[in-house]
Amino acid sequence: MSFLPKPKVAHPGLPLNALGLNRRDYEGVMSTLCAGCGHDSVTAAIVQACFELELPPHNVVKFSGIGCSSKTTAYFVAGAHGFNAVHGRMPSIASGAHAANRHLHSIGVSGDGDSLSIGLGQLAHVIRRNPRMLYLIENNGVYGLTKGQFSASADVGTRSRRGDVNEQRPLDPVLLALALGAPFVARGFSGDREQLVPLLKAGLSSGGFALIDVLSPCVTFNDHEGSTKSYAYVREHREAPVALDYIAPRRAIEASYAAGEVLPVTLHDGSRVLLRKLEPDYDPTDRTRAAAFVQERALANEYVTGLIYMEPERRDFHTRHNTADAALNALPFARLCPGAGKLAEILREFR
Amino acid sequence: MQPTDPRDPDYYHRVVDCQWACPAHTDVPEYIRLIALGRYGDAYLVNRATNVFPGILGRVCDRPCEPACRRGRVEASPVAICRLKRVAADLREDITARLPRAAERRNGKRVACVGAGPASLTVANDLLPLGYEVVIFEQHAWPGGLMRSNIPAFRLPAAVLDEEIGYITGMGADLRLGTPVRSLAALLDSGGFAAVFIGSGAPRGKELALPGRDASERIHIGIAWLESVAFGHVTAIGERVLIIGVGNTAMDCCRTALRLGARSVQVMARKPRGFFKASAWELEDAEEEHVAIVVNHAPKAFVVHDGRLQGMTFERLEYELDGERITAQRVIEEVFVPCDDVILAIGQENAFPWIERDLGIEFDAHELPRLDPVTFESTRRGVFFGGDAACGPRNIIEAVAQGHAAALSIDLHCRGEPLNARPPHAVTLQSRKIGLHEWSYRNAWDGRERRLVPHISLRERFRRLDVEVELGFDAARAAEEVRRCLNCDIQTVFEAPRCIECDACLDICPTDCLTITADGAPPAVQARLRAPRLHPAQPLFVSAPLRQTGRIMVKDEDLCVHCGLCAERCPTGAWDMRKSWVHIPQAGDEARCQGPAQRRRA
Ligand SMILES: Cc1cc2nc3c(=O)[nH]c(=O)nc-3n(C[C@H](O)[C@H](O)[C@H](O)COP(=O)(O)OP(=O)(O)OC[C@H]3O[C@@H](n4cnc5c(N)ncnc54)[C@H](O)[C@@H]3O)c2cc1C
Ligand SMILES: Cc1ncc(C[n+]2csc(CCOP(=O)(O)OP(=O)(O)O)c2C)c(N)n1
Ligand code: SF4
Ligand code: SF4
Ligand code: SF4
Ligand SMILES: [Mg+2]
């Protein structure tokens, strides 16, 4: 936490995007998290991704629950809409908002506590619903805000700062999302922005529910020896089977690749991702094998990071329900509420 | 990349742009903070320690610090450093008891100084406290050199000169006014001087040898004319005056002419705007007084009929420019400009008619003495030069800086030490952290623009020759201006082994100075900086490899606003904000600080 606001002055050479905004225009208020928190890095990556995607701030809506991670929606895209829900209930609020306006870019930020303990049921159902939203779990293995109790993602054998050892088996949000049918599943690390920013951009452009589990160390309660979620541990224990490059719509692919080396996938909004296999036998479109790979590597104490699974063709919430294209607030009242006569007519059909 | 070695005393010094640019290396941000605290006397003494004449320089310094000031890169204009110096002088309490004093016991050595300009006065200032007897020979009846004879009183009041020169002569300098040195050989032969310092300036104004030059008395040489005005020998001038040249002397000539009764004053410039030698602020001040600056006119001849000056003919020129370079010029026509007086202000030259050429003192083709650039010793042992006499016409602050360097040499010389046994330049650092989120300096960004110095009204200023035009900042305005200083001397000091690469500092930095990236060749690393490198002359800090990934922390010093947020957000204290003290040795330091000379002797 700092008492001094970040000065308004900016580097005069900062590039502008097509909207005439620079990266700093996508910042929010000053973070009150502990200095060095991984969550602040994730915030900076979101700022970068929104700037690069040239999102008009007023077309963004941010959702969160409770926790240090959930506080961070205040720290990016100050000009966006937002809702800070009660603990674990963000998915319902986000689903409702998305039902009302499918054109907004939804960004949900949650924590391992918020999503895997109190909000586990909510998370499972929002995955099944498949609204178009980017859902981040800033995963630090602890309840940071309430001073560092183990969360449901803490690994067996992890030692708390006070020396207690966790013996319960962890929940891995990536495996959960794969099992529940999420169409876009990835894992990032707050300390690797080069990997994270393209994942965020791809997730925001994917057309469905994109879950990214971001390992995001808690410097205060979980960055010591004996933690499997510290900066040093994560840096030592991660591998990526696929590298993802994000190509904006109408942008030419500049690098040249040998045939068969990359798998180009066109996303919902016309942008593309190029998937380069780093692990020859890995197939990011095969859900069961992806899950098996993640589990195998977990047994070897390795985090699988990067894009893990992708299914561009899944029908999202609005397609499935054949809803109106316009946002509800843009529909004339007469269409939104056809009146008592129409209601009576509908009810007659059921008699 | 090669990691930066911050133990190099120049590294942190360079970050303090103003202090680096100042020839005397005055600790600008330190005195600005003292002004902010209302400690004007302390601010004055910080200045005086290096620049000797804060009240004088606060009015007329050439201020190389201001174009260098980082604030001018971060937003439009630099901090009004020079005018804040004047604030320290104007608002100071009585500090006389805290000034250096002559040593109680003389050391038996006598040093002669030729000329009582700022260079010689600085030598005296430095040597008197060490016990030297300093004899200053000055041809004029007043001390001060060009500061008194040429800088007009409407820019620099006599009282300010008297007071600050008095601090030095008051220490017991043996000031012999009205005593020109006519022969250096005689001075050297007179014996009794352990060393001689020559601070006699660049006294000769350049001539303009054109037809008609000698046909009229109404053609004046600028610096001689200003001297005559200063000493009261000239009190009037014709109605229409032409000034030839557009340097700083020209600016003083045109404004002085207005005060002596000229109605129309035109400064005739050979080149277009942008190629003038005068400082921007001097041009502004002249134009405020309705002086006309006429560009692209090359003087051709003086037109004199019957011994009366009628005017001058000029060639009107047209230039072709390529950016800031002139690629071609063409004469378009010849024009006649009528006038009553012409003042030539096209430069100064050195002249040492009183220095015999068989004394072992060598001169170059421009009549400049051959000197050691560090010690300022001439090719004859024990004879030193400084100020305009050493390098041709420059400015006061350079004369002061060279005076300090020469005084140190003289002290070494008189103590029988080699002149290169000077203590090294050094930087010491001291943390400014005083609490979890507290720093002992004000680090909040203040976006306000540069405050303007009020001027006395046009009506008032011409009443007398010596009405000071600039009024200086009052305490309230100064209090606003000081907040614009970025505290560049509060350095960001990095300890690589502590960094856990959390990126917090990178993300908080408002001006994107910081980057963590893979090591590599300099061009590759520079291409990966988070923000483009706008001023490649500004230093890059490159850390040793970081512990967790072997990457490096790179800081582009260019636009750092020294807000301290990197240090505040760093969880491990890898960044700290530390005040840098730059030590440039002065006379006496070599004895005080157990320098190499001392150690060798022990
Ligand atoms: C018109 C004008 C305006 C200027 N304005 C500024 C300004 O605004 N700011 C700035 O920083 N600089 C200014 N300068 C330059 C500045 O005044 C000089 O660079 C500075 O004074 C040089 O100092 P000095 O000690 O080397 O020599 P000087 O100031 O020239 O002093 C030399 C002294 O030596 C004396 N002397 C010379 N020969 C002998 C001898 N044989 N025996 C005895 N005495 C002798 C002279 O009478 C003189 O008093 C200006 C110069 C001019 C001409
Ligand atoms: C209904 C309810 N139960 C419990 C809490 C207390 N509580 C606040 S934050 C939190 C856990 C946050 O953990 P996580 O989501 O991992 O966030 P982090 O702080 O680690 O980023 C808990 C249990 C609460 N605020 N509301
Ligand atoms: S901002 Fe202050 S310290 Fe920095 S260069 Fe300018 S005056 Fe000097
Ligand atoms: S002090 Fe630190 S955070 Fe502030 S501008 Fe400089 S490098 Fe950036
Ligand atoms: S905040 Fe400190 S630990 Fe984090 S990257 Fe910067 S210097 Fe390293
Ligand atoms: Mg947590």
pLDDT at residue A253, rounded to an integer? 77
Rounded to a whole number, what is the distance in Å from the CA of B334 to chain A's nearest CA? 47
Q: Do A8 and B572 touch (CB under 8 A)?
A: no
Ligand 4 geometric centre to CA of B11 (Å): 17
Mean pLDDT, rounded, for B256-269: 96
CA–CA gap between residue A295 and residue A289 (Å, rounded): 10
Q: What is the 3-state secondary structure (H, E, C) of B420-463?
A: CCCCCCEEEEEECEEECCEECCCCCCCCCCCCCCCECCHHHHCC
A315 vs B484 pLDDT, higher one = B484
Place of tokens 């995607």: A53
Of all residues in chain A, the percent with pLDDT exceeding 90 is: 87
* CB-defined site of ligand 2, < 6 Å: A 66-69, 87, 111-114, 118, 138, 140, 142-146, 151
pLDDT at residue A92, rounded to an integer? 98
Confidence of residue B596 (pLDDT cuts 50, 70, 90): very low
CA–CA gap between residue B265 and residue B249 (Å, rounded): 14
* CB-defined site of ligand 3, < 6 Å: B 16-18, 28-29, 69-71, 78-79, 81, 485-488
CA–CA gap between residue B410 and residue B388 (Å, rounded): 19
Q: Counting one residue from A and one from B, how many pairs have CB atoms under 8 Å apart?
A: 97
* H or E element that contains B250: helix B248-259
The yes/no answer on whether domain B490-583 falls in CATH 3.30.70.20 is yes
Mean pLDDT, rounded, for B461-485: 95
pLDDT at residue B598, rounded to an integer? 41
Ligand 4 neighbourhood includes B562 CB (under 6 angstroms) = yes
Ligand 5 neighbourhood includes B502 CB (under 6 angstroms) = yes
Per-residue model confidence as pLDDT tens digits over A40-95:
999 999 999 999 999 999 999 999 999 999 999 999 999 999 999 999 999 999 99
Structure tokens at A1: 């936490």
Q: Do B568 and A191 touch (CB under 8 A)?
A: no
Chain B positions touching A3 (Cβ under 8 A) are 437
Per-residue model confidence as pLDDT tens digits over B361-376:
999 999 999 999 999 9
Q: Is the pLDDT of residue A260 over 70?
A: no
Per-residue model confidence as pLDDT tens digits over B180-231:
999 999 999 997 899 999 999 998 999 999 999 999 999 999 999 999 999 9
Per-residue model confidence as pLDDT tens digits over A109-148:
999 999 999 999 999 999 999 999 999 999 999 999 999 9
pLDDT at residue A146, rounded to an integer? 97
Ligand 4 geometric centre to CA of B566 (Å): 5
Ion ligand 6 residues within 5 Å by Cβ:
A 111-113, 140
Q: Residues, chain A, total? A: 351
C-alpha distances in Å from residue B205, one per residue of B14, B225, B366, B392, B395: 36, 10, 14, 12, 15
CATH number for the region B9-98+444-479 comes to 1.10.1060.10
pLDDT at residue A98, rounded to an integer? 97
CATH 1.10.1060.10: which residues of chain B?
9-98+444-479
The secondary structure of A27-56 as a DSSP string is: B-SPP-SPTT-HHHHHHHHHHHHHHHTT--
Q: Assess B433–A contact: CB distance below 8 Å, yes or no.
A: no
Instruction: Using most ligand atoms within 8 A of CB, pick from B79, B85, B492 the residue to mutate for ligand 3.
Output: B79
Give chain A's domains with CATH numbers.
23-320 (3.40.50.970)
Residues ≥6 apart with Cβ < 8 Å to B365: none
pLDDT at residue B176, rounded to an integer? 98
CATH class of B205-345: alpha beta
What is the value of pTM for the model shown? 0.92
Mean pLDDT, rounded, for A257-273: 84
Confidence of residue B86 (pLDDT cuts 50, 70, 90): very high
Per-residue model confidence as pLDDT tens digits over B222-233:
999 999 999 999
Interface pTM (ipTM) of the complex? Answer: 0.90
CA–CA gap between residue B557 and residue B15 (Å, rounded): 7
pLDDT at residue A250, rounded to an integer? 82
Confidence of residue B324 (pLDDT cuts 50, 70, 90): confident
Which of A3, A6, A35 is closest, CB to CB, to B571? A35
pLDDT at residue B590, rounded to an integer? 81
**B42 and B34 Cβ atoms separated by less than 8 Å:** yes
Per-residue model confidence as pLDDT tens digits over B123-171:
999 999 999 999 999 999 999 999 999 999 999 999 999 999 999 999 9
User: Looking at the domain B110-203+350-414, which fold is it?
Assistant: FAD/NAD(P)-binding domain (3.50.50)
Chain A positions touching B447 (Cβ under 8 A) are 8-9
Q: Is the pLDDT of residue B437 over 90?
A: no
CATH 3.30.70.20: which residues of chain B?
490-583
CA–CA gap between residue B186 and residue B93 (Å, rounded): 45
| Identity of the residue numbered A219 | V
Q: Assess B549–A contact: CB distance below 8 Å, yes or no.
A: yes
CA–CA gap between residue B504 and residue B492 (Å, rounded): 15
Mean pLDDT, chain B, integer: 95
- The residues of A whose Cβ lies within 8 A of any Cβ of B are 1-4, 6-14, 24, 34-38, 40-41, 43-44, 190-191, 193, 217, 219, 223, 231-232, 235
Confidence of residue A314 (pLDDT cuts 50, 70, 90): confident
Confidence of residue B593 (pLDDT cuts 50, 70, 90): low
CATH 3.50.50.60: which residues of chain B?
110-203+350-414, 205-345
Per-residue model confidence as pLDDT tens digits over B289-303:
999 999 999 999 999
Q: Assess B502–A contact: CB distance below 8 Å, yes or no.
A: yes
**Helical segments of chain A, H only:** 38-52, 68-71, 90-100, 112-113, 120-129, 173-179, 193-204, 231-236, 287-299, 317-321, 333-336, 340-349
Mean pLDDT, rounded, for B342-350: 95
Q: In what order do the strands lie in the sheet with A272-277?
A: A242-247, A272-277, A262-266
C-alpha distances in Å from residue B493, one per residue of A50, B276, B445: 33, 41, 20
